[in-house]
Amino acid sequence: MTNTPQPPPSHDLVGIGFGPSNVALAIGLREQRERAAADPAAPPLSGVFLERQAEFGWHRGMLLDDATMQVSFLKDLVTTRNPASDFGFLSYLHAAGRLHDFINHKTLFPLRTEFHDYLAWCADRVGDQVRYGAEAVGVEPVRDEGGRIAQLDVVARTADGAYHRSRGRNVVFAPGLTPRLPAGARLSGRVWHNEYLLQRLEGLDAAPAPRSFVVVGAGQSAAECVEHLYRRFPEAQVHTVFTRYGYSPSDDSPFANRIFDPEAVDDFYGASTETKAEIMGYHRNTNYSVVDPDLIDTLYQAAYQDKVKGTERLRMHNTSRVADVREGPGGVTVTVEDLAGGKHTAVEADYLVYATGYSAADPRGLLGELAEHVVGDSEGRPAVERDYRLATSDEVTCGIYLQGGTEHTHGISSSLLSNVAVRVGEILDAISARTGAAVRPEEAAAFGR
Ligand code: NAP
């Protein structure tokens, strides 16, 4: 008698990634199960999450000392979906014994380190649903008796090199953002992306301390890197290179901020391609290539004090671009081209930091043969339904949902925290509705169908 391998247990959803979006989903799942326990008509949903990292971590390399959140703490993982949840930031503060101190602080914008601690506190409390150290490397279709793709197996590689399958009637992708580099740029021991800034700086404080850095970009990450390097290495020169004339402030005025509201997702989703492009054009400066005005003031003050002292440690190469990078044993020679005057300047630096932004992952990279079932839009991007389900051929009856990577369909809040709480509610409602409508495979088996 041959042994047939047992199929893995089937879940209502398998989450890929366990950053803030899928932690919020795990909280939503837990709250859904608590409601279902009190309401026999609502079937409880089961879920499991896979995370490549060994423990929860969110942009750890940018947890700089004084950096604050750019979004109100009220846009935490739950409050805008369920203000009564005990997973809100205020519950965290209460548990940490800092609620009154925070109130006295009179701010909506906690330190990033504190918000990271909040996220880790949430992740820990729903940690029974996650498998850490498991990197999703592929998704395989599981067909029902009618030949339709009714479930998916997510194949994950674990730290010991073993492979593991998680089966779900739905998969929710939340792989996060990938550091973006200029074409042709290559990372090395001296050339970094800001994503890993703090890790790369470890051990550099000891003598001989670095003498010179180049930071490329003019967004929030670039400005934070410049400020951190300038302050941390008081003997070093910090060169900034960007194509703008000067750092530009982020627009967080109240009417413009409505672009991050849940209603804006409806408006954006229903708009024509032309109108979508216009909205993004008008309001790009709420998020991209912009800097918090207080930080701009801090940097200006530093540059001015340099002038007074005649030191010029902060060297601005505005309307400029990096034309060439040569790495040698002792450092990096960065050729900076002044786009206004055409002059080329060779800057000798110990380290070059690209703070050139992030890209959202395309889920089709993981989908293998399933990718051919994904409907594409006129520009080849994946089409996504309003409930964040990837549009697929009718052969696919399971759900593939996206958290992130939907800026082209759902707007600018796609990769941000602003709308996470409401979005996971929408995804869970969609999955609940589909679960209620469909007879689950194991129930079908139980009924002999
Ligand atoms: P970003 O806003 O996309 O800015 C990227 C910068 O790099 C821009 O100045 C861009 O210039 C430049 N750039 C892009 N490609 C380039 C190329 N090939 N060559 C030269 N320059 C290039 O990215 P970010 O600053 O990392 O910010 C991303 C998000 O993270 C934002 O939502 C931001 O608020 C958030 N963030 C938050 C915090 C915080 O909470 N404290 C800290 C850091 C970041 P162009 O304008 O010409 O494209």
List pLDDT tens digits, range 338-354: 999 999 999 999 999 99
Residue tagged 């050139």 (tokens) = 356
pLDDT at position 273 over 50: yes
Residues 6 or more apart whose CB falls under 8 angstroms from that of 151 comprise: 10, 141, 142, 144, 167, 168, 169, 398, 441
pLDDT at position 439 over 90: no
pLDDT at 3: 60
Ligand 1 centroid to Cα of residue 241, in Å, is 13
Pairing of strands 170-173, 13-16: parallel
Ligand 1 centroid to Cα of residue 67, in Å, is 15
Q: Using a 6 Å cutoff on CB, does residue 409 contact ligand 1? A: no
Q: Using a 6 Å cutoff on CB, does residue 287 contact ligand 1? A: yes
| 161 vs 3, more confident | 161
Mean pLDDT of 280-288: 97
Report the share of the chain in percent with pLDDT over 90.
Answer: 89
pLDDT at position 131 over 90: yes
Report the share of the chain in percent with pLDDT over 70.
Answer: 96
Domain ranges of the chain: 10-176+361-446, 180-250+288-358
pLDDT at 75: 98
Give the residue, out of 178, 214, 260, 288, with the most ligand 1 atoms within 8 A of its beta carbon, to mutate for a pocket test.
288
The answer to whether the beta carbons of residues 290 and 250 sit under 8 Å apart is yes
pLDDT interval class at 7 (50, 70, 90): confident
* Predicted model pTM: 0.94
Mean pLDDT of 210-232: 98
pLDDT interval class at 431 (50, 70, 90): very high
Q: Using a 6 Å cutoff on CB, does residue 197 contact ligand 1? A: no
pLDDT at 438: 46
Residue tagged 């060169």 (tokens) = 239
Buried b (16+ CB within 10 A) or exposed e, 357-367: bbebbbbbebb
pLDDT interval class at 446 (50, 70, 90): very low
Nearest to 199 by CA among 51, 59, 52, 352: 59
pLDDT at 388: 98
Cβ-based neighbour number of residue 394 at 10 Å: 7
Q: Cis bond leading into 208, ω under 30°?
A: yes
Buried b (16+ CB within 10 A) or exposed e, 126-153: bbebbebebebebbbbbeeeeeebbbbb
Q: Using a 6 Å cutoff on CB, does residue 32 contact ligand 1? A: no
Cα–Cα distance, 110 to 89 (Å, whole number): 10
pLDDT at position 383 over 50: yes
Nearest alpha carbon, ligand 1 atom 45:
289
pLDDT at position 43 over 90: no
pLDDT at position 435 over 50: yes
Q: Six-digit token pair at 68?
A: 């604050």
pLDDT interval class at 376 (50, 70, 90): very high
pLDDT at 4: 63
Q: Using a 6 Å cutoff on CB, does residue 91 contact ligand 1? A: no
Lowest mean pLDDT among 196-200, 253-257, 290-294, 361-365: 361-365
pLDDT tens-digit readout, 141-162: 999 999 999 999 999 999 899 9
Same fold, 10-176+361-446 and 180-250+288-358: yes
Nearest alpha carbon, ligand 1 atom 42:
221
The answer to whether the beta carbons of residues 353 and 201 sit under 8 Å apart is no
pLDDT at position 205 over 90: no
Cα–Cα distance, 423 to 25 (Å, whole number): 9
pLDDT at position 442 over 50: no
Cα–Cα distance, 276 to 136 (Å, whole number): 32
pLDDT tens-digit readout, 74-104: 999 999 999 999 999 999 999 999 999 999 9
Average pLDDT, the chain: 94
DSSP string, 55-69: S--SSGGG--TT-B-
pLDDT at 436: 67
Ligand 1, closest atom to CA 218? 9
Among 3.40.50.300, 3.50.50.60, 3.40.190.10, 3.30.300.30, what is the CATH number of 180-250+288-358?
3.50.50.60
pLDDT at 1: 47
pLDDT at 40: 78
pLDDT interval class at 39 (50, 70, 90): confident
Where would I find the H helices in 310-440?
364-367, 407-410, 420-437
Edge to edge, the sheet with strand 191-193 lists 191-193, 351-354, 212-216, 237-241, 314-317
The helix or strand, by DSSP H or E, that contains position 48, with its residue range, turns out to be strand 47-51
Q: Which fold has domain 10-176+361-446?
A: FAD/NAD(P)-binding domain (3.50.50)
